[in-house]
Structure 1
Amino acid sequence: MTLTYVGVGTNIDRDKHVKAAWAELKALGRNLRSSTIYHCDPVGFDSHAFYNFVIELETSLSLTEFSHELRKIEFKWGRSENAHKLQDRTLDLDIVLFGDVVSKHSPELPRSDIFKYPFVTQPLYDLCPARVIPQDGRTVSEIWQKMEHLDSLSVVDIEL
């Protein structure tokens, strides 16, 4: 089993897609835990606010299999196959960490968003502040302490 962390984002029918992400990921692993769900403005484009959070789970799937399953889930819930990075999302599922795997190729691991975006760092901090980021060597807590704009997030109360 591989301990993995999946970043979840949605800004279309958000409550529905938050619950869909939880249900779909439950089918891919076990021992799921969710961070707090956060409301945040889109980064890099003007649109509706997002709900972002991270789900921790253990999976027996390989990285390739897991990545493929996430794409299938995104398509199932309305993501276009030619979707662009800076646009609205029904459901966006990104592998943030996959065990101790380090990869520069798709999927990039650990995902560089950990170091850039509060909507990834804060939820990861909620789940595993002492976890050491592979190859980087810092803990999630150390990265979180240096993160700016954490105040741009607000907590959303949704029952999973």
Structure 2
Amino acid sequence: MADIYISLGSNINRQYHIEQGLNALTDAFGLLTLSSLFESEAVGFAGKAFYNMVVAVKTELSLAEVATILRTIEFSYGRSQDAKKFSPRTLDLDLLLYGDVITDTPAQIPRDEITKNAFVLWPLAELAGQLTHPTMAKSYNELWQQYDKNQQKLKKVPLVWANENRER
């Protein structure tokens, strides 16, 4: 059984897509453990603010199966097959961690954005603060404490999601 961490983001009808993403993840994986929900500026392009959060789940599925499920969910909510990296998103699901695995296929694990983006690192530190980044040998709490918080602005916002199959 692997502990996995997934980043969710949206800046198009963001409340709706975050809720739908959480529903789809519940359908795929069962019980979710949720970080806080954050509002952050778009990074890498001029666009509307994003909602972002991280979800933790336990799964028996392989890394390849998880990656396929996440892409399928994204596509079912309007993500284009040829979406540019820095562009608006209905729903963006990125697998951040899959147990202690380090790999580049079928996805980059641990995800490079963990240490580069506050909207990934802060919520991950909330859920997995004591875990150690597998290549940096520092906990996610340490990485968050050392992060330049002037680099990207984000704030916590209320999460509205009516689902009983979650932990806070």
Q: In the TM superposition, what is the alpha-carbon distance from 1:21 to its structure 2 partner?
A: 1.2
Residue 154 in 1 paired to residue 155 in 2?
yes
Equivalent residue number for residue 20 of structure 1: 20
Select between 10-19 and 141-150 the one with higher mean Cα deviation.
Answer: 141-150
Percent of aligned pairs with the same amino acid: 36
Distance in 1 separating the partners of 2:41 and 2:160:
22
C-alpha contact (below 8 Å) 1:11/1:48 kept by paired residues: yes
Q: Within 5 A, what are the aligned runs for 1:100-139? A: 100-139=100-139
- Please give the secondary structure, in 2, of the residue aligned with 1:52: strand
Q: Residues of 2 paired with 1:113 and 1:106: CA distance?
A: 16
Letter in 1 for 2:159: I
Matches within 5 A, 1:52-91: 52-91=52-91
Deviation >2 Å, runs of 4+: none
Q: Is the 8 A contact 1:29 1:60 kept in 2?
A: no
Identify the residue that residue 98 of structure 1 maps to in structure 2.
98
Cα deviation digits, residues 94-138 of structure 1 (max 9, x gap): 000011110134411101111111000000011111011113221
Q: Which moved more, 1:99-108 or 1:87-96?
A: 99-108
Comparing 4-13 and 102-111, the one that deviates more: 102-111
Whether the aligned pair in 2 keeps the contact of 1:28 and 1:59 (CA below 8 Å) is no
Q: CA RMSD in A?
A: 1.2
Count of residue correspondences? 160
Alpha-carbon distance in 2 for matches of 1:95, 1:89: 16
Within the alignment, does 1:144 sit opposite 2:144 as a pair? yes
> Equivalent residue for 2:46?
46
SS at match of 1:138: coil
